[in-house]
Chains A and B, each alone.
Chain A
Amino acid sequence: MPFDPVMAERRFGVGLSPGRAAPGSVAAMLDSLAGPDAMARAWTIPPYERAEPSRATMRARALAVRDAETEADRTAAMEARSRMRMAARELYARNLAVEMARSVDTHDGLRERLARFWADHFTVRALSGGYRHLVSPYIEAAIRPHVTGRFADMLRAVVTSPTFLLYFDQLRSYGPNSPRGLKHGRGLNENLARELLELHTLGVGGAYTQRDVRQLAELLTGLSSSARRGFHFRPGNAEPGAETVLGEAYGGDDPALDDILDAMEGLARHPDTARHLSRKLAVHFIAPDPDPDMVHAMADRYAATGGDLLATVEAMLTHPAAWDDPYRKVKRPVDFIASGLRALAVPPDRIVGAGRRDVHHLLRVPMRVMGQAWQAPVGPDGWPEADSEWITPQGMAGRISWAMRAPERLLEALPDPRDFVHHALGPDPSEAVSFAAGAAQTRTEGVGVVLASAAFNRS
């Protein structure tokens, strides 16, 4: 099947919108991706380095409470800490609202989907509730700028991100023969090395061995972060000597960050990485069992361009199998809600201006009931792809409830369901959905039944 604008939005974007024309061709989609990131400018999320309260601020506030010498100082310090915590909660809620607003406002929906895809690929979770507001800033700094660039650059950005290193316990990994390792009797923590190979690059079926995990773990020692200094390389933690990962030797007697970054380049260029990432993209966007010929074409393109992700996406979009009928994926709750807001044309400034409580009740709690606690997946492998993981009775109850209740709390006036069915599903909705939209007794139920329909929930 050839290019179809409705499919371009529903399968590769964040859904149809009554106020945003669907792209007219694959070339138009690629042009948007190659152009500037308009949504990041219009609806800002502070990148990690500028997000407040930062880890440094949080540490300073905690120390001020601890070190207060008088009762009055202590009270003042505690008040300052409370204000900081409130600011963190506000930012966390705003981050979610902005993520939704970008999806509603964009002409470049594929970029939003790619940002979520790669953020999920490099999943992190805040170590405690106090740091939740820093997850979006991590994504904004380390991932989003690279979704149309080179995979190696994204990989290098994440392994030098404090949030990522903390999540994988890398700060507790010491070269056994490093000065600090010897002094404190500390050793390696293989966690990050294993996940980098298994999840982030070659994939679980990739051609690596336990020896590669071990060598990579040794090579990664020295990656560090602190509240005060942020990311830094600590040679005193780093294992001396060269390490051989997947047949390539990195580093020498003087441990250096560049050796680690070179190794990231090597992992990114590995043919198993090309295959793993290409297949994962195709599974995410198109089907659980994507056309092998399309996956090959994507992996070839990835390899030929040195891991250029825009070229890889182009190989997917220009392959005929990308446009096969029918829709075979289920929207994740975050995409379900984003596309619902988009179809309803909820004004983006209204979403961003919503208070913390509304964000909580209209977005966060419903997502949780649907099975996707925002930015808090269980493990480093991120959210599941299988339809059956999402469309459970409880998950479905969450989708139906949101569809029936949220729209009237988001809009002054609901659209006529007979129009809305076209806003949401395009010019040719199925007869069943058209009938149901028209047969409802109230606008609320008519709009709700369209949003809850299988057709709207698939992508």
Chain B
Amino acid sequence: MSLSRRDVLIRSLALGCSAAAAPLVTPVALANAPWEGRLVVIILRGALDGLDAIRPHGDADFAALRPTLGGGDDPSGLDLDGFFTLHPGFESLHPLWQAGEFGAVHAVSTPYRDKRSHFDGQDILEAGLPGLGGGGLRDGWLNRMLQLRGGLEPEIAYAIGRERMLVLSGLAETARWSPEADLAVSAQARQLLNIVHHDDPLFRDASADAIEIAASLELEAERAEQTGAMMQADPMMAGVAVNTTHVQLADFAASRLRGDTRIASFSINGWDTHSQQDQGLRRRGGMLSDTILALRAGLGDVWGRTAVLCLTEFGRTAAENGSGGTDHGTGGAMLFAGGALRGGQVLGDWPGLAEADLYDRRDLMPTRDLRAHAAWVMAQMIGLNRDELEQVIFPGLEMGARPGLLL
């Protein structure tokens, strides 16, 4: 949170401990929202198997590589465009596909190659850099974008959930909160907390910030209620369990994004399907689908100005392994959704699945840097230029031609 507001808060408390009932802070509304588009970045940790989520059924080599994972005469996939089919776990997104609000880019990856470590792969994905370098990672690409724009309130961007999101970490101040951390204390308790933290700056600042965030959320309670009502009223939410962690993250994100927040990021974990992938992907696919449906319902009109990008650290092996799963690979798929994007299509240059066409003779060959897609989305939504994107936000990236994913 910004120092200036913290100072105001501390000064207001210093006036005395008797004004128990007055709200301590009035959240400062952003004077001018700097841009209208909303960007949601969902990190799928564990490496989503793009070849199973968006199955290249029309590729002659697919069936042999995936005998038990959709490659046989599997009736469960949903046809997308005659070449690709959708894994049944993502079934509830099919209506969005038909409405042009859900799509995918295939055969993409970050610049990370060969070591196939989750941790390094996620670091590179979130740092947005061509490689890990030696000196440790300072910040994430979304944060560098905020640094470039400058002068923004922390609420412009929310990292949601209990995990640190490197993609939003860095010098630009952003907000971070977990809907699990609902802090409800009376005004008097807040005063008392300030007294018992007064002499320890670490505690004083952290708890002042915590209370400030919680208080601003409380003042926005009406909007949160509205989000709940919108989700309830949406017929597409009929099959969605709303008390799950991921839907609560989406609910929280939607409430913020309908207000002053323009960027939200969180992660959905558990995509590392080395065995029994069919079950695993049904479960995770269902979670991601619910999340996207909840965002859509909770955003209402704002959905039309929203882009949701689902990014993962790398793809998985082209061939299934001996335990009904797949191992760490290279190229994969980026799923996307939102009214601001042109869904209903699978983009990308399809490299083919013949052995000679594979990366390292084992993985789907990446034919484009997935950063290029994120860059083009930001160029359009936030109005950044190519130099900023290729040099600062995604160093070493060549954005190339405008892809067809923007409206």
Contacts and interface: CB of A to CB of B under 8 A. Distances in A.
Contacts, number: 99
Contacts of B189: 404, 440, 445, 448-449
A445 B196 contact: no
A452 B191 CA distance: 13
A455 interface: yes
Contacts of B198: 432
Which 8 residue pairs across A and B have the least CB separation, nearest first? A454-B200, A453-B196, A393-B209, A454-B203, A397-B210, A396-B206, A436-B192, A393-B210
Contact of A397 (B119, B197, B214): B214
B203 A394 contact: no
B193 A452 contact: yes
A453 B162 contact: no
B177 A394 contact: yes
B181 A397 contact: yes
Given A368-B162, A379-B119, A449-B192, A432 B199 contact: yes
Contacts of A436: 192-193, 195-196
Interface in A408-459: 430, 432-433, 435-436, 439-441, 445, 448-450, 452-455, 457-458
Contact of B180 (A365, A379, A400, A435): A365
15 contacts: A330-B202, A365-B180, A379-B119, A394-B177, A395-B206, A396-B210, A398-B181, A400-B193, A401-B183, A436-B192, A440-B189, A445-B185, A450-B196, A454-B203, A458-B200
Interface stretch (A13-21, A175-183, A384-392): A384-392
Contact of A445 (B162, B186, B204): B186
Given A397-B214, A400-B185, A432 B196 contact: yes
Contact of B203 (A379, A398, A441, A457): A457
A455 B202 CA distance: 12
A441 B199 CA distance: 23
Contacts of B176: 392-394
B68 interface: no
Interface string A42-56: 000000000000000
Contacts of B195: 432, 435-436
Contacts of A368: 162, 180
B196 A400 contact: no
Given A445-B186, A445-B192, A449-B189, A396 B180 contact: no
Nearest to B180: A369
Interface residues of B, number: 32
Contacts of B182: 401
Contact of B213 (A393, A404, A432, A445): A393
B162 A397 contact: no
Contacts of B162: 368-369, 371, 373, 394
B312 to A, nearest CB: 18
Given A391-B202, A391-B206, A400-B207, A449 B178 contact: no
- Which of B119, B181, B183, B196 counts the most A-chain CB atoms under 10 A from its CB? B196
Nearest to A441: B188
Given A395-B206, A398-B181, 16 more contacts: A371-B162, A373-B162, A379-B119, A392-B176, A393-B206, A393-B210, A393-B213, A394-B177, A397-B183, A436-B195, A445-B192, A448-B189, A449-B196, A454-B197, A454-B200, A455-B196
Contact of B181 (A369, A373, A440, A441): A369
B180 A433 contact: no
Contacts of A440: 188-189, 192
A286 to B, nearest CB: 17
Contacts of B186: 441, 445
A82 B356 CA distance: 45
A412 to B, nearest CB: 22
A430 B203 CA distance: 15
A433 B209 contact: no
A404 B185 contact: yes
B202 A387 contact: yes
A454 B199 contact: yes
Given A369-B178, A371-B162, A397-B214, A388 B185 contact: no
A433 B199 CA distance: 11
Contacts of B177: 393-394
Contact of A439 (B1, B192, B200): B192
Given A432-B198, A445-B186, A445-B192, A400 B119 contact: no
Interface string A245-270: 00000000000000000000000000
Contacts of B206: 391-393, 395-396
A440 B193 CA distance: 10
B194 to A, nearest CB: 9
Nearest to A450: B196
Contacts of A373: 162
B195 to A, nearest CB: 5
A436 B185 CA distance: 15
A432 to B, nearest CB: 5
Nearest to B208: A393
Contacts of B188: 440-441, 445
Contacts of B180: 365, 368-369
Contacts of B203: 391, 396, 454, 457
A326 to B, nearest CB: 10
Nearest to A439: B192
Nearest to B183: A397
A371 B206 CA distance: 14
- Which of A387, A436, A440, A445 counts the most B-chain CB atoms under 10 A from its CB? A436
A440 B187 CA distance: 11
Given A387-B202, A445-B188, A396 B196 contact: no
Nearest to A435: B195
A400 B186 CA distance: 12
A452 B196 contact: yes
B182 to A, nearest CB: 7
Nearest to A370: B181
A158 B69 CA distance: 39
Contacts of A441: 186, 188
Interface in B1-42: 1
Nearest to A458: B200
Interface in A345-374: 365, 368-369, 371, 373
Contacts of A387: 202
Nearest to B20: A441
B192 A400 contact: no
Contacts of B181: 369, 394, 397-398, 401
A330 to B, nearest CB: 8
A109 to B, nearest CB: 23
A90 to B, nearest CB: 22
Interface string B150-184: 00000000000010000000000000111011111
A455 B204 CA distance: 12
Contacts of B200: 454, 458
B137 to A, nearest CB: 14
Contacts of B213: 393, 397
B354 to A, nearest CB: 24
B200 to A, nearest CB: 4
Contacts of B204: 454
A31 B96 CA distance: 69
Interface string A107-125: 0000000000000000000
A380 B193 CA distance: 35
A458 B193 CA distance: 15
Nearest to A405: B184
Contacts of A330: 202
Contacts of A392: 176, 206
